[in-house]
Chain A
Amino acid sequence: MTAPAPTPAIDPPLPAGRRPLLEVVDLHVRFDTAAGSAQAVRGVSFTVDEGETIGIVGESGCGKSATILSLPRLLPPSIATISGGSVRFDGTDLLHANERTLHSVRGGEIGVIFQDPLSSLNPVLRMRRQLTEGPRQHLGLTKSKAAERALELLTAVGIPDPQRRLRQYPSEYSGGMRQRAMIAMALASEPRLLLADEPTTALDVTVQAQILALVRRLRVERGLSVVWVTHDLGIIAGLADRVLVMYAGTIVEQADVRTIYHQPHHPYTQALLDSIPRVDVRRRSALPSIPGAPPSLIDPPLGCPFTARCAHRMERCDHERPALRVIGEGHTSACFLDITPKKSS
């Protein structure tokens, strides 16, 4: 891909020596449902540098999945509309790209791992077919070369007896194996950016740890950029360089991983951190430990969306929406609080 000169990022300032691979500015996504029009993503901006791993955390329904799936325009157009903003990948405007460009970017430049590996694999096609179609299209491999590559990929993601596994159908794989296969599939055409949409939610803890280790290794080996979406801050800790915390379709805090964990500013981030279990137990439900529920996105509140659940709520929070502001180096937060509040624990 012929990449024009990298667009200088304005906010937050980039560390020297890195250039943005992906640049998202003021992204808006609207979901048209029977109940009404929901503002799922409301002005999200961020950048991803080459080799960087971004974690996006937030409760279910905060717009994190909608954000990343809208980047390669994978949301179903019948329901979801990207109503504003821009997405530039290596200089290409993805929101206005033609079908052809989109087809070569998808898979070829941006790989996606989905939340539910079983439903994301076609039940009636052999794994070989699903693993080879990408490389054949993007890398121009022959059928046999693509099959060789699929074999290598399955080996790389740690699937034993890959020769046999290639001949099988998704239903013959175990849950963990399916997710590994999904990763192999996402990486098959050597993309530069990996978008992972809660890929470990459905897996048990052991498998989850194995998958994380795998991604970490591949990131180093291949110099991948990764955007990892999860509701689990615990996962992000060992994986991400930088963390975006999303709430009600907006980014409420953004900082490097160390800062988020040690000096969280936004009360929502703090609440999330508090909800990380002391003992690592298998968990599927979305953070029951934060009391209250996120606001409706069909009719979002005027002020701070978190105000109803906030322990530090102030009067202005009800009618004034706090903008993201720089509160430290590479650290932004959308909260009126001046100082970092003490942890409630």
Chain B
Amino acid sequence: MSLLQYVVRRFLLAIPTIIGLSIVTFVLANYLPGDPLVRLLGERGAANPKIVATYTKRWGLDKSGPERYFVYMRNLVHGDLGRSTTTQRAVAKDLFDFFPATIELALAAIVVAAVGGVAAGMLAARFKSRWPDAGVRLLALLGSGVPVFWLGLLALEVFYLRLHWVPGPEGRLSSSTHVPPHTTGMYTFDALVHGQWATLWDALRHLILPAFVLGAYFLGLIARMVRASLLEIGGANYLVAARARGMSERRIMLVHALPNALIPVITVLGLAVGGLLAGAVLTETVFAWPGIGRYAVDTAKGLDYQAVLGVTILIGVIYVVSNVIVDVLYATLDPRIRIGR
């Protein structure tokens, strides 16, 4: 089976999962106690039969649950994700607008977690039981032990209020900086593509702290895993064999030991996608980051079922995609795993 076939098959297999997910979400969003009309109109509006009738019709709330689900799924097949009662516009448009911010943040967090975690893990393994090791372990503990929300406020207190290294939690750009032309919606990338260096710098300055806070948990986890697995394979025969071929310690570490040590880390990255999206909700709240996490909270509060479904399906798809990517990465790193067999 070719890689392409494998990937296609994985996506096809994910379809029932996503349909199941949509049903569960739909039921939860529609049958939990709460009246979306009151959320939309307030008690005053909800007490006025004329207004209620207009809204019920406008948002299709006069149809039965199963009927609404069927209509929703039919529209979904045609790429129509429905309308959000919270933002009063197309859910697809909302996702298109808000998702790039989260992707940008999550990607930055993954980079921070992976690069920082691997580097810290290598440092700790190299200086096992000495102060760099202790330092890395302390930081890893901090990263994985402190709740994101708290860590975010703490990081802001230190790096924004006291040290003034980063801008405040004012979102993705300073108010004086113009949003770069839309290519991906990820400001750092868009600014780079269009050569707007000042915007790029501003976007990066706003991105770095939330990315660290969001990635901290996985940075700590990866650092500990890399350290443990480097120490575990430190005495591996193939490293001795490489040494016997005259390879330098540096090369042995980077070429021979690290790829082996990274195999378990890849699995963690797969899990990280879920964790990062969960953490994004809180990180986005603390840093006023206009992403999908906040949208999810807003719409869930408003019992906005089409928007909630849209977010759920999007996250489901992201999850599937990232798992496939992780599988492919895994197979690339570890030839003993053969995709599709």
Report A76 CB to chain B, min CB distance, Å. 5
Which stretch from A4-12, A131-139, A154-162 is at the chain B interface? A131-139
Task: Enumerate chain B residues within 8 angstroms of A108, measured Cβ to Cβ.
Answer: 246
Binary contact track A294-319/B, C-beta < 8 Å → 1, others 0 = 00000000000000000000000000
Task: Enumerate chain B residues within 8 angstroms of A104, measured Cβ to Cβ.
Answer: 246
Does A83 sit within 8 A of B, measured CB to CB? Answer: no
Judging by beta carbons under 8 Å apart, are A134 and B237 in contact?
no
Judging by beta carbons under 8 Å apart, are A189 and B246 in contact?
yes
Residue on B with the closest CB to A168? B335
Task: Enumerate chain B residues within 8 angstroms of A186, measured Cβ to Cβ.
Answer: 244
Does B197 sit within 8 A of A, measured CB to CB? Answer: no
Contacts A114-B237, A116-B237, A119-B238 given; does A124 touch B333 at CB 8 Å = yes
- Tell me the bound Cα distance from A215 to B267 in angstroms: 43
Judging by beta carbons under 8 Å apart, are B237 and A138 in contact?
no
Judging by beta carbons under 8 Å apart, are A121 and B246 in contact?
no
Does A331 sit within 8 A of B, measured CB to CB? Answer: no
Judging by beta carbons under 8 Å apart, are A123 and B335 in contact?
yes
Task: Enumerate chain A residues within 8 angstroms of B240, measured Cβ to Cβ.
Answer: 69, 74, 76, 114, 120
Report A306 CB to chain B, min CB distance, Å. 31
Judging by beta carbons under 8 Å apart, are A124 and B243 in contact?
no
Residue on A with the closest CB to B241? A120
Report A164 CB to chain B, min CB distance, Å. 14
Contacts A103-B248, A107-B246 given; does A112 touch B335 at CB 8 Å = no
Does A205 sit within 8 A of B, measured CB to CB? Answer: no
Judging by beta carbons under 8 Å apart, are B259 and A74 in contact?
no
Task: Enumerate chain B residues within 8 angstroms of A189, measured Cβ to Cβ.
Answer: 245-246
Report A157 CB to chain B, min CB distance, Å. 16
Judging by beta carbons under 8 Å apart, are B238 and A122 in contact?
yes
- Tell me the bound Cα distance from A133 to B251 in angstroms: 10
Judging by beta carbons under 8 Å apart, are B237 and A123 in contact?
no
Judging by beta carbons under 8 Å apart, are A137 and B335 in contact?
no
Interface size on A, residues (CB 8 A): 40
Residue on A with the closest CB to B251? A133
Does A336 sit within 8 A of B, measured CB to CB? Answer: no
CB interface residues, B 179-236, toward A, < 8 Å = 234-236
Judging by beta carbons under 8 Å apart, are A133 and B247 in contact?
yes
Task: Enumerate chain A residues within 8 angstroms of B3, measured Cβ to Cβ.
Answer: none
- Tell me the bound Cα distance from A122 to B256 in angstroms: 7
Binary contact track A40-83/B, C-beta < 8 Å → 1, others 0 = 00000000000000000000000000000100101010100000
Contacts A169-B335, A171-B336 given; does A122 touch B243 at CB 8 Å = no
- Tell me the bound Cα distance from A107 to B243 in angstroms: 8
Does B271 sit within 8 A of A, measured CB to CB? Answer: no
Report A150 CB to chain B, min CB distance, Å. 13
- Tell me the bound Cα distance from A116 to B334 in angstroms: 20
Report B232 CB to chain A, min CB distance, Å. 13
Task: Enumerate chain A residues within 8 angstroms of B234, measured Cβ to Cβ.
Answer: 76
- Tell me the bound Cα distance from A172 to B236 in angstroms: 19
Judging by beta carbons under 8 Å apart, are A138 and B244 in contact?
no
Does A125 sit within 8 A of B, measured CB to CB? Answer: yes
Binary contact track A78-116/B, C-beta < 8 Å → 1, others 0 = 100000000000000000000100111111101110101
Report B331 CB to chain A, min CB distance, Å. 11
Binary contact track B237-276/A, C-beta < 8 Å → 1, others 0 = 1101111111111010001100110010000000000000
CB interface residues, B 282-336, toward A, < 8 Å = 333-336
Quick one: which of B236, B241, B333 has the most chain A CB within 10 A? B241
- Tell me the bound Cα distance from A69 to B240 in angstroms: 10
- Tell me the bound Cα distance from A121 to B243 in angstroms: 12
Residue on B with the closest CB to A131? B245
Judging by beta carbons under 8 Å apart, are B241 and A124 in contact?
no
A124 CB contact (under 8 Å) in B244, B247, B249, B259:
B259
Report B291 CB to chain A, min CB distance, Å. 36
Does A185 sit within 8 A of B, measured CB to CB? Answer: yes
Residue on A with the closest CB to B262? A124
Judging by beta carbons under 8 Å apart, are B335 and A134 in contact?
no
14 contacts between A and B (CB under 8 A): A99-B248, A103-B246, A106-B244, A107-B244, A107-B246, A122-B238, A122-B256, A123-B238, A123-B334, A124-B260, A137-B245, A137-B247, A138-B246, A182-B241
